[in-house]
Structure 1
Amino acid sequence: MSLEHYSQWLLSVQLLLLYSMVATASKVPALIVFGDSSVDSGNNNYIQTVARSNFRPYGRDLGGGSPTGRFSNGRLTTDFLSEALGLPRLVPAYLNPNMSIAEFASGVCFASAGTGYDNATSDVLSVIPLWKELEYFKEYREKLKSFQGEAKAQETLSEALYVMSLGTNDFVENYYVLPHRPSQFTVAEYEDFLVGIAEEFVRSIYKLGARKVELTGLPPMGCLPLERVKINPILRGCYEEYNKVAWDFNIKLQKLVDNLNQNLAGIRIVYGDVYDILFDAVQNSSSYGFENVMVGCCGTGLFEMSYMCNRRSPFTCSDANKYAFWDSMHPTERLNNIIADKLMNTTLHVFL
């Protein structure tokens, strides 16, 4: 092939890739996020709660090192998903008064760190309950109609991808810590209770226009540094009982996805598997380039999160890329990127 022909071929490939990126962006015009600290991009900054991360070292590896309220050293999984969909690289928090509906039109986050499916979970740290996230979405929906017009807004809402990521707090902050829910439900019954709330929520956003939905499962909760040190402070192995609960809950969530796909006309719901990817990263850390998966980067990494993870922590690591976890519960930016890449390649590609 001559140099001229090669240059023409290379230009054609570049144009094809560019077209593909544009086409991808047009299929999903917005990313709409509900959930907990795994996806909260800063809503808790604007409510009265101790569940905050709007201070350093949180966000230290995010452009300029500014803390945004994300529970990580950098971007969240949903930020990477947004970029992969051809949308902005950061999903803005709905309660941020500096953001406009023009910026929310391509993505918005209603999530609140510390919340869960269960209203009682959000009461623990006085955060935004899931039903309130839904009310904010309804408010956003009306603002979007005013901004884009009725027809365009309806198109945006029906073509947008809705991500739900929560449930861990229902167990680690509520069921296994406080006495009320265990007195009402067995673990299996509580799982069913939560899945019922998830179904009701999906049906609610479906009535409001949602047609593309991802329900994220639970991570292996027993492998989180906080749970490792609580259960076995010396060996710090993964706590298998908590992992089994997460596994069983995820199976029920997958059955819910199948049921809703069969019963809601025009909807496409997928299950987001974060359990396998996170468990594999913990068990086969070297293949992911992680040097430490047992503790978080911040402080001792055993129990620090939120205000216990602050700039005065003397033990905070210098390179978070070597760690799977940033604090005692939340992934580093690098692990968030790995999770997002896995989701895009195994699940979310159906929306491209």
Structure 2
Amino acid sequence: MRNSALSSHHQIIINLLSCFIFLQAGIIHVESKVPAVIVFGASMVDAGNNNPLPTISKCNFSPYGRDLEGGKATGRFSNGRIVTDFISQAFGNKPLVPAYLDSSYGIEDFATGVTFASGGTGFDNKTADVSSAIPLWKEVEYFKDYKIRLATLLGKKAAIKTIKEAVYIISLGTNDFLINYFGLPDRSLHFTLKEYENFLTGIANNFIVELYRLGARKISLGGLPPLGCLPIKRTLVAGHACNEEFNTAAKSFDMKLKSLAAKLSGELQGSKVVFSDIYHIVMDVIQKPSLYGFENVKNGCCGSGRFEVSYLCHRWNPLTCKDASKYAFWDAVHPSEKLHFIIANNMMKTSLTEFV
């Protein structure tokens, strides 16, 4: 029985790694009516919108991007591609979703996918203020501008069709808790944790209703990862164990987002609003790293992997690992390219099947 179980585990690893290699090569994709992948959110799905901004939340320098083709640091908080890049390619579109504020791209590039995400932002405007990031309402304004430019490129009728059939990926909330509620006194003095969760959920509700009004119909509302298991939080706990207070908060907020997605999917006629669970796939990787081919899930690859992120993760740090594929995290907060792929692959097999 034990040998059979080990054999099964080895086969899972082989299948997963093979799938990773194939998707990297652009072989695996699904046939679907998805003309574009349109992204809103924070650093996990930012592909360089923060590059021109006066913010400390930047990564347009090495070793970020070292495993991308050409080794270029694009502004992705990763050693390589990110979750939305993999999702775009899995839907049969391009392998890199460009940042809207990246001047090296034009509307022709954005027509099949674009990200408005900004590292350091959140649902809460005060969260964006802390990092001088793009607030969520401004991401919506960029989307409105994008619609006008798209209509000029494709014509009004074709643009409306693209907007309607595109898949919208939303990835927000981590910074609202890590940076804002637990990191600064203002929100925690005025809200209990449950009240703050409800406050954010209300913003999420209004945001999705606005996207629907602007033409969006296929919407994925992403949940939080296990916040207490991020390397930057494990550093503060004896034995580098996960911080259960943060994990409990993430699970509680996820339940509210899941309920919100179901409610809106029923209320917004002709729409599909799905909840994309990030927490459980990341936790499974953390609890069973060898099953996924990881050797380290406690530290990031960059530097000591305990606290380095953004400018603290730099090319001159001699401690940075040589092979990021052995690490679940790239820096102290963000997934490695390989974990980004695992998350994307899980989403494609679960919540995003609604849009295939």
Pairwise TM-score range, normalised by the shorter structure: over 0.9
Q: Provide the C-alpha distance between the structure 1 equivalents of 2:31 and 2:56, rounded to a whole number of angstroms.
A: 42
Equivalent in the alignment of 2:271: 267
Q: 1:144 aligns with which of 144, 150, 153?
A: 150
Amino acid in the other structure paired with 2:86:
F
Relative to 1, partners in 2 of residues 1:315 and 1:105: Cα closer, same or farther, differing over 3 Å? same
Equivalent in the alignment of 2:303: 299
The answer as to whether partners of 2:100 and 2:114 remain within 8 angstroms in 1 is yes
Amino acid in the other structure paired with 2:43:
S
SS across alignment from 1:340? helix
Q: Provide the C-alpha distance between the structure 2 equivalents of 1:346 and 1:164, rounded to a whole number of angstroms.
A: 16
SS across alignment from 1:271? strand
**Which structure: larger Rg?**
1
The answer as to whether partners of 2:127 and 2:176 remain within 8 angstroms in 1 is yes
* 1:182-193 aligned within 5 A: 182-193=188-199
| 2:66 is the alignment partner of 1:60 | yes
SS across alignment from 1:235? helix
Amino acid in the other structure paired with 1:242:
F
| CA offset digits 1:83-137 (Å, max 9, x no partner) | 0000000000000111111110000000000000000000011010000000000
Relative to 1, partners in 2 of residues 1:187 and 1:42: Cα closer, same or farther, differing over 3 Å? same
Q: Provide the C-alpha distance between the structure 2 equivalents of 1:315 and 1:53, rounded to a whole number of angstroms.
A: 18
Equivalent in the alignment of 2:7: none
Amino acid in the other structure paired with 2:79:
N
SS across alignment from 1:241? helix
SS across alignment from 1:192? helix
Q: Normalised by the size of structure 2, how large is the TM-score?
A: 0.91
| 2:333 is the alignment partner of 1:336 | no
Deviation at 1:262?
1.1
RMSD: 1.0
The answer as to whether partners of 2:30 and 2:91 remain within 8 angstroms in 1 is no
SS across alignment from 2:170? strand
Q: Provide the C-alpha distance between the structure 2 equivalents of 1:262 and 1:271, rounded to a whole number of angstroms.
A: 13
Q: Provide the C-alpha distance between the structure 2 equivalents of 1:291 and 1:110, rounded to a whole number of angstroms.
A: 33
| 2:191 is the alignment partner of 1:205 | no
Amino acid in the other structure paired with 2:325:
N
Amino acid in the other structure paired with 2:292:
Y
Amino acid in the other structure paired with 1:150:
K
| 2:117 is the alignment partner of 1:111 | yes
Q: Provide the C-alpha distance between the structure 2 equivalents of 1:240 and 1:284, rounded to a whole number of angstroms.
A: 18
* 1:311-330 aligned within 5 A: 311-330=315-334
Q: Provide the C-alpha distance between the structure 1 equivalents of 2:319 and 2:180, rounded to a whole number of angstroms.
A: 29
| 2:292 is the alignment partner of 1:283 | no
* 1:1-352 aligned within 5 A: 23-24=31-32, 27-230=33-236, 232=237, 234-352=238-356
Q: Provide the C-alpha distance between the structure 1 equivalents of 2:95 and 2:29, rounded to a whole number of angstroms.
A: 14
In structure 2, runs of 5+ residues without a counterpart are: 1-27
| CA offset digits 1:185-231 (Å, max 9, x no partner) | 0000000000100000000010000000000000000000001112x
Deviation at 1:312?
0.7
Q: Provide the C-alpha distance between the structure 1 equivalents of 2:133 and 2:89, rounded to a whole number of angstroms.
A: 28
How many residues are paired up? 329
* Identical amino acids, percent of aligned pairs: 54
Q: Which runs of 4+ in 1 moved over 4 A?
A: none
Amino acid in the other structure paired with 1:333:
E
